Structure 1
Amino acid sequence: MQQCSITVGLPVYNAMPFLPEAIESLYNQRARNFTVLVIVDGDNDGSLKYLETIQDERFRIVSQPNHGLAATLNRMLREAGTGWLLRQDADDVSYPTRIERLQEYILQFPDAGMFYSLAEYYPPKRSLGRFRSTRGTPHELRKLVQSGYLLSICHPSVALNVEKTMAIGGYRNLLHAEDADLWWRMALSYDIHLLPEVLIGFRQNSTSISSRNSRTQELHGLYAQYLLLSHLSGCRPLPLSEISQLLESNISANRTQAKQQLRHMNMHLAAKQYGSALTAFIRSLLASPAYLIRRMIDELLPLSNIANGISPDLFYRRKEAFWP
């Protein structure tokens, strides 16, 4: 097979019934010169059996005992065999021009560390909105990170320069926030470029990490921000176990509930459960009107300064506790 510059990395963990549509979206790419590395990270739902029916020399199927997402993605980086690893999750859909547009951007910015695109919730005709994504030039993204905030980027929309990603340590085992932790390290070391187009459909479903672990994801996201601030201030970070209570005191239960209910709304819309969708929307509004308004502003005015995390001042005011 002719060597190509892009490997699509598809981690799979009990991915049925959405996996076939994800695979089909790769068959439907206008570009053809790419390979696909599928790592089945444990399986008890028939995902591996389905994958074994694929007869396409571009696909490499690997099965392993369950090691978790970060370890699986690091294995993909080691075994990609190409210069770029394009992320996709097993329940998401790459639109037909995705790889073609990425190839064009790689030629234009060959020294980039990472590319990402916009993403819409899937299926688009039965879901509302787009993934809340930070937008800006590489310089603007770096400046935002240097101010102490995290980038908001849809993980399955990303393409990573394999060599540069490995140089900054790859994915660290920060449960449900390994992506946000990688973005800040990448932004400080290399250029991150946005492809300002919707190139992937991001599915919200009840078995996804975000749906099942929203509270843990919030906690580990704050820890990723703490690691960033530790790096910027030259202080040694404490392990999560020693400051988890400090971090949890900054998590708004109402905001977490509002965010979760918006996810439920889109899941109900996708299932054509319109009454339940309306109920979820009302619950989101009641839980945190401020969050819902902020989310609507981000949707309607996407050029605003979208970032993740809390004010860095909330960390610095308790510097003695966070950096004793």
Structure 2
Amino acid sequence: MPTISVIIPTYNSEKTIKATIESVIKQTFSDWELIIINDGSQDSTLDIALQVKDSRIKVFSFNNAGLSASRNRGLKCAVGEFISFLDADDIWISDKLEIQLKALQENPQAAVAYSWTDYIDENGKFAFSGSYINVNGDVYQHLLMSDFLENGSNPLIRKEAFTVLAGFDETLRAAEDWDMWLRLANKFDFVCVPSVQILYRVTPNSLSSNVINQEKFCLEVLRRGYQERPPSLKYSWNISLAKLYRYLTCKALQKPFTRQKSLASAKFLCNYLWNESLILQYITFKLFTTYYDKLRMKF
């Protein structure tokens, strides 16, 4: 039985799927199985995946059902003690599995190990760096502020953690990763591997480029998260919204430019500035009242 099950959901990924599979084969940790879920691809994705000869690779084909459904299908096939998902256009650094597994073995109280991400373009060249956030243990409040794992190709997760969760939410058409990380963080500790191990490919036609869907489902995930465990910081909702709309503004300004994205970027920028102003007002008010109380006690 393999130690780690790697799950690649793929749909029309003929340009990148081979490089993604090769990044798994090149891992320094070799006791894995690779489960490729072909989600009704209409190009040569399936043919390319089947051409890779390795006894550890299993390929399954289904009718198109979306990313979350494909990941859930992969979970049902997985037999490893640990699970890691890899999107079909992303790449792992060769020691990703080895170091994340070591982190979980050294921290038995944690169920999720995550690393840092850099971003690459369509040609695999470096585009920009990720957030490089390093938090450990109960990270729920940090995740409410932003999805610092940044993508679904990041964490290594103990499979037993999924037994208390209902899998990925198939009603979400975006932000399904963030939703899963929040549900995991509500029950389990996380441990950070402070090293870049995921190369996330930025492409104009990726699911994350649909900024309207991103806004809708990110807001839904945030509302759920705050209902599940409200934070103690009174203006944390505004911090979450400010960070979300700053991210969405940047996404909307990425190429290719369209009229819809231009209008969306203006809306997102206004929401970002509004929430930033509310945070500043609240902090100013707290500082003023604290100073006033101290001054009154003095006299």
Map residues 267-306 of structure 1 onto 2, 5 A cutoff.
none
Q: Letter of the aligned partner of 1:135 in structure 2?
A: N
- Separation (CA, whole Å) in 2 of partners of 1:181 and 1:289: 21
Contact 2:97 2:156 in 1 (8 A): no
Map residues 7-46 of structure 1 onto 2, 5 A cutoff.
7-46=5-44
Which residue in 2 is equivalent to 1:138?
A: 137
Which residue in 2 is equivalent to 1:259?
A: 251
Contact 1:215 1:256 in 2 (8 A): no
- CA drift of 1:207 comes to 2.1
Which residue in 1 is equivalent to 2:297?
A: none
Which residue in 2 is equivalent to 1:231?
A: 228
- CA drift of 1:104 comes to 1.3
Q: Larger Rg: 1 or 2?
A: 2
- CA drift of 1:51 comes to 1.2
- CA drift of 1:219 comes to 1.3
**1:172 partnered with 2:146:** no
Cα distance, 1:50–1:116 mapped onto 2, change above 3 Å? same
Listed as ranges, the gaps of 5+ residues in structure 2 are: 231-240, 280-299
Structure 1 window deviating more from structure 2 (103-112 vs 8-17): it is 103-112
Q: Letter of the aligned partner of 1:23 in structure 2?
A: I
- CA drift of 1:168 comes to 2.2
Which residue in 2 is equivalent to 1:127?
A: 126
- Separation (CA, whole Å) in 1 of partners of 2:80 and 2:22: 22
Q: Letter of the aligned partner of 1:264 in structure 2?
A: K
Contact 2:104 2:111 in 1 (8 A): no
Which residue in 1 is equivalent to 2:84?
A: 86
Alpha-carbon displacement from aligned partner over 1:137-180 (angstroms, at most 9, x marks no partner): 223x13435xx534331221122222212312221122111111
* TM-score, with structure 2 as normaliser: 0.76
- Separation (CA, whole Å) in 2 of partners of 1:192 and 1:180: 14
- Separation (CA, whole Å) in 1 of partners of 2:214 and 2:155: 19
Map residues 77-226 of structure 1 onto 2, 5 A cutoff.
77-122=75-120, 126-132=125-131, 134-139=133-138, 141-145=139-143, 148-153=144-149, 154-173=151-170, 174-211=172-209, 213-226=210-223
SS class of match (1:36): strand
Cα distance, 1:184–1:289 mapped onto 2, change above 3 Å? closer
Listed as ranges, the gaps of 5+ residues in structure 1 are: 234-247, 266-275, 277-282, 295-309, 315-324
Contact 2:68 2:168 in 1 (8 A): yes
Contact 1:150 1:225 in 2 (8 A): no
- CA drift of 1:135 comes to 2.9
Alpha-carbon displacement from aligned partner over 1:251-293 (angstroms, at most 9, x marks no partner): 86x97343332x439xxxxxxxxxx9xxxxxx9xx969989xx
- CA drift of 1:32 comes to 1.4
Cα distance, 1:43–1:255 mapped onto 2, change above 3 Å? closer
- CA drift of 1:184 comes to 1.3
Tell me the C-alpha RMSD between the 2 structures: 3.1
Cα distance, 1:151–1:205 mapped onto 2, change above 3 Å? closer
Q: Letter of the aligned partner of 1:204 in structure 2?
A: V
Contact 1:13 1:41 in 2 (8 A): yes
Cα distance, 1:87–1:258 mapped onto 2, change above 3 Å? same
SS class of match (1:136): coil
Contact 1:37 1:76 in 2 (8 A): yes
- CA drift of 1:98 comes to 1.0
SS class of match (1:164): helix
Cα distance, 1:177–1:255 mapped onto 2, change above 3 Å? closer
- Separation (CA, whole Å) in 2 of partners of 1:169 and 1:39: 19
* TM-score, with structure 1 as normaliser: 0.70
- Separation (CA, whole Å) in 2 of partners of 1:255 and 1:143: 18
Q: Letter of the aligned partner of 2:252 in structure 1?
A: Q
- Separation (CA, whole Å) in 2 of partners of 1:72 and 1:83: 19
- Separation (CA, whole Å) in 1 of partners of 2:30 and 2:125: 30
Cα distance, 1:229–1:113 mapped onto 2, change above 3 Å? same
